[in-house]
Chain A
């Protein structure tokens, strides 16, 4: 890699790969207004099926491609039939969350059946490079370009000339009207999922060959890149997705050329946030296109919250408070400390996602900001740990709110995408801002928790400390929800247009919710940093954001007691049943899927 031509070629090739993922996402979004977060998992499955075919069965290349396409399409059909079709009449958040659950399940199944270690996926083409102009190009580059072009052509012919293709286009433009023409929209959904999955799987295969390596981390990356490309091109716009992908590939490639490899993703997500904020309908949308559909109001499952008498809460709090006096093992206390920390994060998320309806998928970033701030304050400025943690909370509140504020005008799915991107950006800035964050090395030797000069080293003291902090935050949040502020938050969630008509400033209230939520999450991150004594840019990752969301949905969106109950359940139960760590994520995914299907309002109900 030396010349600009090389970077251009590389950008276009990578863009082609993204296009295969993004086109599938665009088709699905067009037909069912759903961002399929499981798309990357299908890509992963495709890569591993390819690996099995090449390495174990020694299939020739054309056969490998066909096997991967067909098998991936089958996976897509199964997802559509059993994961999503039952949710057709559910609240709008349900299918989105289901695809997240499905992706957890698929990724973990691949990890458990194959291995979490990377595998080599050899390219089945000769390793030669041709000179063109000032750059070089290899047979695999040409294959990827060829597959990209051929897929685009096939898709064009399908959409333009086949009956099913017409049905797909008609359904995307007006679902009800298409039904009134006799179109069976279930079949359309099936077709679209099958095609999207086949393209996604082949994309995974090609990427595996391109880098000669596959591992399970590919999944989330692919989903994220596909979503970026699709949104840049305009959600649901198939040609837009292709152009968005090529653009993304080029931006990344040139970004890497100028700044280095670790900046690749940073450019991708910055591009996404810029497009979301400035042109939420994508670069190519014309004015006539409807603005992003209003999803608020229908996004949260309505329900009557379960009333828990005050005395029962007091008794429960009392029991947990005196628990360390009983002969419980260190292990139990440790587990509950983790639950309290997750509980604080869940309190934050249940306020933001539940009470005011901004379903955040990047909440772990708030933990990271709090953790780094607190760690650096205590290390660099020798601030007392107690103050440093509060500093972490304040920094999360301020910085988190500042980062999300440009996205306040977005709604529904778009909020989730923006928060996901911002979460990734925070982690990437931490990775690359070495002078402050120490980059990939991370921060070690963080002083242990202490309060007024007394170090909290014993598990019992840490237990009490984290429990009390969480209870205080929960009480504050309870007060908040009961006040006029809480009502205003819920009004904005239920109907932001009506809320605005009554004079509520959306930006101000969203800011307040993020400030309060950011503080709670930042404090949780700060405590965690001093507890772990070592943190790096991967300590607080997207998986944690999704876990927090699962906790919040389990408890009931907006429900303070539910958030804590959910945290105890999801941290505690796997421990009680001694479930091995590698199965936990699988279980979280299954819990999320079951909740969405059978109890979208959570255990204690939404408030």
Chain B
């Protein structure tokens, strides 16, 4: 674990966070090694989404450290964190519904000023997500859930991030799109972008992740290489094999 942390791109160390009186995280420690896909699993109200918000600076932890590429993120505003190289695919996509698909994707490049390279990247997105080509001038709010997920991913990639954090990227998608999204996450990762994703769907997430953590009511109860966790009886009971046991 220690040698992992030293090579980590993103590291959360002993984070404690609260909503008012209620404690959300208890000494949470997570590290995302460079170039890896790391997945945070957990049920409802386990604190998954709050973990995302802490990384993005939307929620301030009461204690603990969050570092990205060795530098602390604590005290930075969300835009500052984004400029450090972290892009996000928020829960339920959160597109700008009344802006066009093109405008949504270009909003992802908000922190960049290199017009020509941005235009090239937009073309690149259209080869990566060919379906969006015909949709460019459509209102983003009028797309289907799966198409919106594509836009959200393209939007995140447009900032040329070193890391993407994703909150339940497969939620509410049809099985066809779920496979497509997972494949895309793998592709993105192979191009050198580290991925930290939060998921409820353990079997799918463990399919593509290198490492995984299991969060239960704010505490990490299990962690390790994804391959090992897939066979772990505790995971099988909790997430995968629940029906078999019954």
- Given known contacts A169-B96, A170-B96, is B56 in contact with A180 (CB within 8 Å)? yes
A177–B82 CA distance with the chains assembled, in angstroms: 11
Q: Which chain A positions have C-beta within 8 A of B237?
A: none
Q: Which chain B positions have C-beta within 8 A of A170?
A: 96, 99, 107, 110
Of B9-17, B30-38, B87-95, B205-213, the one touching chain A = B87-95
User: CB of A166 within 8 A of chain B?
Assistant: yes
Contact residues, A157-194 vs B (CB, 8 A): 163, 166-167, 169-170, 173-174, 176-184
The residue in chain B whose Cβ has the minimal distance to the Cβ of A179 is B78
User: CB of B27 within 8 A of chain A?
Assistant: no
Q: Which chain A positions have C-beta within 8 A of B23?
A: none
From B79, B94, B98, B159, give the contact of A177 (CB < 8 A). B94
- Given known contacts A173-B99, A174-B96, A177-B95, is B110 in contact with A182 (CB within 8 Å)? yes
Q: Which chain A positions have C-beta within 8 A of B82?
A: 179-182
User: CB of A288 within 8 A of chain B?
Assistant: yes
Contact residues, A381-395 vs B (CB, 8 A): none
Q: Which chain A positions have C-beta within 8 A of B96?
A: 169-170, 173-174, 177-178
Q: Are B90 and A182 in contact (CB under 8 A)?
A: no
A357–B204 CA distance with the chains assembled, in angstroms: 47
CB distance from A157 to the nearest CB of B (A): 15
CB distance from B104 to the nearest CB of A (A): 9
Q: Are B103 and A176 in contact (CB under 8 A)?
A: no
Q: Are B155 and A174 in contact (CB under 8 A)?
A: no
A169–B56 CA distance with the chains assembled, in angstroms: 21
From A163, A173, A176, give the contact of B110 (CB < 8 A). A163
Q: Are B107 and A184 in contact (CB under 8 A)?
A: no
Q: Which chain A positions have C-beta within 8 A of B87?
A: 180
The residue in chain B whose Cβ has the minimal distance to the Cβ of A177 is B94
Q: Are A182 and B94 in contact (CB under 8 A)?
A: no
Q: Which chain A positions have C-beta within 8 A of B108?
A: 181
User: CB of B228 within 8 A of chain A?
Assistant: no
- Given known contacts A166-B103, A173-B96, is B83 in contact with A182 (CB within 8 Å)? yes
Contact residues, B40-89 vs A (CB, 8 A): 56, 58, 77-79, 82-83, 87-88
A173–B94 CA distance with the chains assembled, in angstroms: 9
Q: Which chain B positions have C-beta within 8 A of A177?
A: 90, 94-96
CB distance from B94 to the nearest CB of A (A): 4
Contact-residue size bin, chain B (C-beta under 8 Å from the other chain): 20 to 34
Q: Are B78 and A180 in contact (CB under 8 A)?
A: yes
CB distance from B179 to the nearest CB of A (A): 26
User: CB of B145 within 8 A of chain A?
Assistant: no
The residue in chain A whose Cβ has the minimal distance to the Cβ of B108 is A181
Q: Are B110 and A167 in contact (CB under 8 A)?
A: yes
A182–B156 CA distance with the chains assembled, in angstroms: 11
Q: Which chain B positions have C-beta within 8 A of A169?
A: 96, 98-99
A163–B56 CA distance with the chains assembled, in angstroms: 22
From A166, A174, A182, A288, give the contact of B79 (CB < 8 A). A182
From B58, B79, B98, give the contact of A184 (CB < 8 A). B79
CB distance from B77 to the nearest CB of A (A): 7
User: CB of B5 within 8 A of chain A?
Assistant: no
User: CB of B28 within 8 A of chain A?
Assistant: no
Q: Which chain A positions have C-beta within 8 A of B111?
A: 181-182
Contact residues, A497-523 vs B (CB, 8 A): none
Q: Which chain B positions have C-beta within 8 A of A166?
A: 99, 103, 106-107, 110
Q: Which chain B positions have C-beta within 8 A of A183?
A: 79, 110
A559–B79 CA distance with the chains assembled, in angstroms: 41
A288–B83 CA distance with the chains assembled, in angstroms: 33
The residue in chain A whose Cβ has the minimal distance to the Cβ of B57 is A179
From B83, B94, B106, give the contact of A176 (CB < 8 A). B94
- Given known contacts A163-B110, A179-B58, A180-B56, is B103 in contact with A174 (CB within 8 Å)? no
The residue in chain B whose Cβ has the minimal distance to the Cβ of A184 is B79
The residue in chain B whose Cβ has the minimal distance to the Cβ of A180 is B88
Mark each residue of chain B from 94 to 119: 1 if its CB lies under 8 Å from any CB of chain A, else 0.
11111100010011101100000000
Interface centre among A178, A179, A180, A183 (most CB of B within 10 A): A180
The residue in chain B whose Cβ has the minimal distance to the Cβ of A187 is B79
Q: Which chain A positions have C-beta within 8 A of B94?
A: 174, 176-177, 180
A181–B89 CA distance with the chains assembled, in angstroms: 10
Q: Which chain B positions have C-beta within 8 A of A180?
A: 56, 58, 78, 82, 87-88, 90, 94
CB distance from A28 to the nearest CB of B (A): 18
CB distance from A55 to the nearest CB of B (A): 45
A170–B97 CA distance with the chains assembled, in angstroms: 9
A180–B77 CA distance with the chains assembled, in angstroms: 10
Q: Are B99 and A182 in contact (CB under 8 A)?
A: no
CB distance from A172 to the nearest CB of B (A): 9
A178–B110 CA distance with the chains assembled, in angstroms: 9
Q: Which chain B positions have C-beta within 8 A of A182?
A: 78-79, 82-83, 110-111, 159
- Given known contacts A179-B58, A181-B107, is B79 in contact with A173 (CB within 8 Å)? no
From B77, B97, B110, B141, give the contact of A181 (CB < 8 A). B110
The residue in chain A whose Cβ has the minimal distance to the Cβ of B94 is A177
From A163, A176, A184, A288, give the contact of B90 (CB < 8 A). A176
Interface centre among A169, A176, A177 (most CB of B within 10 A): A177
The residue in chain A whose Cβ has the minimal distance to the Cβ of B78 is A179
The residue in chain A whose Cβ has the minimal distance to the Cβ of B104 is A170
A285–B56 CA distance with the chains assembled, in angstroms: 33
Q: Which chain B positions have C-beta within 8 A of A176?
A: 58, 90, 94
Contact residues, B154-171 vs A (CB, 8 A): 155, 159
Contact surface of A with B, Cβ cutoff 8 Å: 163, 166-167, 169-170, 173-174, 176-184, 288
Contact surface of B with A, Cβ cutoff 8 Å: 56, 58, 77-79, 82-83, 87-88, 90, 94-99, 103, 106-108, 110-111, 141, 155, 159
10 A-B residue pairings within 8 Å (CB atoms):
A169-B96, A170-B99, A176-B58, A179-B79, A180-B88, A181-B107, A181-B108, A182-B79, A182-B82, A184-B77
Top-6 shortest CB links A-B: A182-B111, A182-B82, A179-B78, A177-B94, A173-B96, A180-B88
Extra pairs beyond A174-B96, A181-B110 (6, CB < 8 Å): A173-B97, A176-B58, A177-B94, A178-B107, A180-B56, A180-B88
